Amino acid sequence: MAGGVTAGGTAEAAGGTGATTPLLAGVRVLNLASVGPAARAGRWLADYGAEVINVGAVPSRGAVQITPVFHAYSGHRGMRRILLDLKSDHGRETFLRMAERADVVIESFRPGVTDRLGIGFETVRGRNPKIVYCSTTGFGQSGPCSQWAGHDLDYLAVSGYLAVGEPGARGNPALPGATLADSAGGGMHAVIAILAALVKGEGAYLDVSVADGVLSLMSLAVDEYLATGSEPGYQHSMTSGRYACYRTYQTGDGRWLAVAAIEPKFWANFCRLLGLEKWAAHQTDDAVQDQIRADVEAVLASKERDVWIGILSGSDTCVAPVLTVSELCEDAQYQARGAFAEAVHPEHGDLRQTAPLLAGMARPELPYRLPSGTHSHRLLLEAGFTEAEIKELLEEGTVA
């Protein structure tokens, strides 16, 4: 992998102590995206210990860019940033020289833009044959929708995701509560592809389509339709609301429980604890589902949510509370898992944020010191530029 980062330094950037080398120590990533799926990919790679360098446009010369709020993407902890004028010859050459010492390039421009800028895959590969070049777009590099603008909701729409959920009050496809397409369909999709390419070690071009990624998440429903001709939708199956054993219910204090008692033994336990043993043998009896739902609703409305959690959740019923964001931030399970970390921002002071959460990521023992501004001078030195070259680039406005 690319040099220039010690194992201990990478561990510190990823929040560890340096005693254990992070899994992606020594991997250098140039990320041309500031928001969206590619930014999420960079976040996860950094939390695995990769050296992620965010490459933005020089403000006076670049196109309009979205600047994330200071706490987004975990405040870009463990990352560094440089601003380049990629439309200039010197800016383009600066990026290509940096790419010579990188392992991964991530970009999220529309198809064809990086080639027009002179920093496309073939050009970068000419300077670094082992580069893993990941292009993340909404619909991919090919197909009739490849040039469409889009956001998370659009990719959930075309993948079938919105069509199979419980309708909203207007009979409309309900809005999801999180950007699942950007996160799983795009960001995690990109990370998986990048890691697979790094394992092979030969360099690769990765065409990451967010819509394709969400379609892969929908494969159980889609494969059912392709194999049987049966159209999935709301109340079509166990996990889409057909039966009373798999849905949300309101409790006496106006809060909610998630009931997912799929297996008969869990459903039987649930019915027994609610005093509804008569329904235990009718879990998938379509003729009585409305009556079961009504009876369950009536019983659960008799007590507060947390009282029911005390009765049900530890008794093999597959019942969990529907937590608000403020509740989950104080939840005992997440606290025990070390899910939140302390951080210090140079302008906004002390704050809490989600810790590196995925398996194998380094966890912090000290507060993160979040970055602010740019690190251009140091990054150019590491890329082999001389002081004289750096001075010229800064003075002409190619770098900021």
Report whether pLDDT(30) > 70.
yes
Whether 232 contacts 219, CB under 8 Å: no
Do 153 and 55 have their domain in common? yes
Residue (of 160, 159, 177, 179) closest to 168 by Cα position: 177
Q: Residue 59: pLDDT band by 50, 70, 90 thresholds?
A: confident
Tens of pLDDT, residue by residue over 205-254, are 999 999 999 999 999 999 999 999 999 999 999 999 999 999 999 999 99
Whether 103 contacts 130, CB under 8 Å: yes
Confirm whether 132 is domain-assigned: yes
Do 171 and 303 have their domain in common? no
Is this structure's pTM higher than 0.85? yes
**Number of compact structural domains in the chain:** 2
Do 106 and 166 have their domain in common? yes
Do 303 and 367 have their domain in common? no
Confirm whether 231 is domain-assigned: no
Residues with catalytic roles: 151, 182
Q: Which helix (H) or strand (E) holds 46?
A: helix 36-47
Half-sphere exposure of 60 (CA within 13 A, CB side): 5
CA pair distance 180, 187, nearest whole angstrom: 10
Residue 300: exposure state from Cβ atoms within 10 A (0-12, 13-18, ≥19): buried
- Show the domain range for 18: 7-217+352-395
- Structure letter (DSSP) for residue 51: E
Confirm whether 233 is domain-assigned: no
Tens of pLDDT, residue by residue over 66-98, are 788 999 999 999 999 999 999 999 999 999 999
CA pair distance 59, 34, nearest whole angstrom: 13
Residue 17: CB partners within 8 Å, gap ≥ 6?
A: 11, 365
Residue 357: exposure state from Cβ atoms within 10 A (0-12, 13-18, ≥19): middle
Confirm whether 116 is domain-assigned: yes
Report whether pLDDT(160) > 70.
yes
- Summarize the confidence of residues 182-207 as an average pLDDT: 97
Backbone angles phi, psi at 324, to 5 degrees: -75, 165
Q: How many residues does the chain have?
A: 400
Which domain CATH number covers 281? Answer: 3.30.1540.10
Which domain CATH number covers 55? Answer: 3.40.50.10540
Do 174 and 29 have their domain in common? yes
CA pair distance 69, 254, nearest whole angstrom: 33
